[in-house]
Amino acid sequence: MGQYTTDFGSIQSYKKGGVTAIDDDPKRYVFSNMFEVASKSAPYDRVAVAKNFEYVIESAKAEGESAWFSAAHDEFVVSMDGKVRVDFIKLDDPDALVDPESEGAVKLAGTPDGTNMGYVVLGRGHMAMLPVGAAYRFSAAETCTIIIQSIDGAVTQHKWAQFCQQ
């Protein structure tokens, strides 16, 4: 039986994968490394690394404290390589801050009015739900990578050309 080694990537140490394009332009393919995307982005820029219809997986560099976000639908976050704290506020009037018909996350101005719901601390591989009707903010003492499952929206950035295989 062969010997296999599992290598865990991180924002500080990753191997870039690739795509073998046969008789086509590699820029037509979406193949992003979440760690590379996070390492080249500003803290908490939410950059799409995968898309399926209206749904996206966003990669973000967690560093310091983010702004507050909310969405008109549930979202999920996974810590990929470090510790990230997620604070929650149950919004007093969610519809006043986020259009109930909107898609994707919305960056909120300042700290929203509502009831403190507490926080969770995510370690590598831990996931948390970002529930509808709540605001959330991330904070990380050390730089790491998070991925967020959401719907393509106002804060989702598309930078395929910057990260595609050349």
Count of CB atoms situated within 10 Å of the CB of 161:
8
The architecture (CATH level 2) of 46-161 comes to Sandwich (2.60)
Count of CB atoms situated within 10 Å of the CB of 128:
19
State the virtual CA torsion across 91, 94, 96, 98 in degrees, nearest 10: 120
pLDDT digits (tens, 9 = 90+) for 111-146: 999 999 999 999 999 999 999 999 999 999 999 999
Average of pLDDT values for 9-17? 80
Using DSSP, state whether 29 is helix, strand or coil: coil
Instruction: Judge whether 30 and 24 are in contact, CB under 8 Å.
Output: no
Its pTM stands at 0.85
Q: What local confidence, expressed as pLDDT, does residue 5 receive?
A: 76
Give the confidence band of 14 by pLDDT, cuts at 50, 70, 90. confident
Using DSSP, state whether 52 is helix, strand or coil: strand
